[in-house]
Chain A
Amino acid sequence: MTDARWVGRSYETAPYQVTEKSIRDYMAAVGDERDGGDLMAPPTYAMVYGFDAFWQLWTDQEVALDVAHLVHGEQRFSFHRPVRPGDRIRTTGRLTAINTRGDMELVTFELRAVDDQDQPVSDGTALFIIRKP
């Protein structure tokens, strides 16, 4: 069981420099390659520029989530503006709840991504499920 005292801990990514290559690599990986001449990342690219916040949580040795038994249970995103090459985006992830349901642990992680002018780019909530071994 993860210690509830870590609720409230937050993680901030370094500014993620969005490039055309990064967007096109993502589009090729998911198979969503439409391009209307104005290259805009698919909205779920939020997982790419925000991923380091997830990684910091998963590898935080103090919180010590049982990542071998962790799966992504639910995800919500709100998108405030399109993302294009040249954007620099910082994402803050905050561990906001640890609950149990039966023999599972539920970890809530809230995400907020902003651009260089501190204007909102996207918000999200991830729910991780940790199955007890």
Chain B
Amino acid sequence: MKTMSTLDFEHVSPGQALPSLSKQVTVEQIRQYAEASGDRNPIHLDETFARSAGLPGVIAHGMLTMAFANQMVTDWLGDRSMLKRLQGRFAGMVVPGDGVTCSGTVASKDDATRRIVINLVVTNQRGEKVFNKGVAEAEFPSQKE
């Protein structure tokens, strides 16, 4: 079991890049996500159905990609409860076999509210954006324990 250590607000500065996070997406992971989330829409599970809907084949849930972006941010923060806001646009399809990489940069930092804003993007192995206009906002605890 990995433990978490929380990031210090004082060590964060605008322009700073977050450690990137890469994931390989597989048919098995999409199935596992469908079971865990309850979202068994056949465009994620049934190759024939997906093709008949005009897709290249089964596609990953957009929310799986957003979960990767979430993980990149909370791995860096060290505490899931610090994440207050997460948003973005599912700009491209993710299909089994894709390798996606999440990147983030600190856009701003507010000392009064101890909040930071992070810009996020997820790209595939061809450098195409699959998640863009991504924004996360985190709040740091007011006092050190």
Contacts and interface: CB of A to CB of B under 8 A. Distances in A.
Interface residues of B, number: 44
Given A31-B23, A75-B66, A37 B71 contact: no
A43 B33 contact: no
Interface of A: 22, 25-26, 28-37, 40-44, 47-48, 51-52, 54-55, 58, 67-69, 71-79, 81-82, 131, 133
Contact of B63 (A32, A33, A40, A72): A72
Interface stretch (B8-16, B77-85, B111-119, B122-130): B77-85
A40 B71 contact: no
A43 B37 contact: no
Query: Which secondary structure dominates where chain A touches chain B?
Result: mixed
Contacts of A71: 43, 59, 62, 90, 93
Interface string B45-75: 0000100111000010111101110110011
Interface in B5-33: 23, 29, 32-33
A51 B38 contact: yes
25 contacts: A22-B36, A29-B36, A31-B68, A36-B4, A40-B80, A42-B70, A42-B74, A43-B70, A43-B74, A44-B67, A47-B37, A47-B63, A48-B37, A51-B39, A68-B53, A69-B54, A72-B62, A72-B63, A75-B88, A77-B87, A78-B85, A79-B84, A79-B85, A81-B81, A82-B81
Interface of B: 1-4, 23, 29, 32-33, 35-39, 41, 43, 49, 52-54, 59, 61-64, 66-68, 70-71, 74-75, 79-81, 83-90, 93, 133
B86 A77 contact: yes
B69 to A, nearest CB: 8
A35 B3 CA distance: 6
Contact of B68 (A30, A33, A81, A131): A30
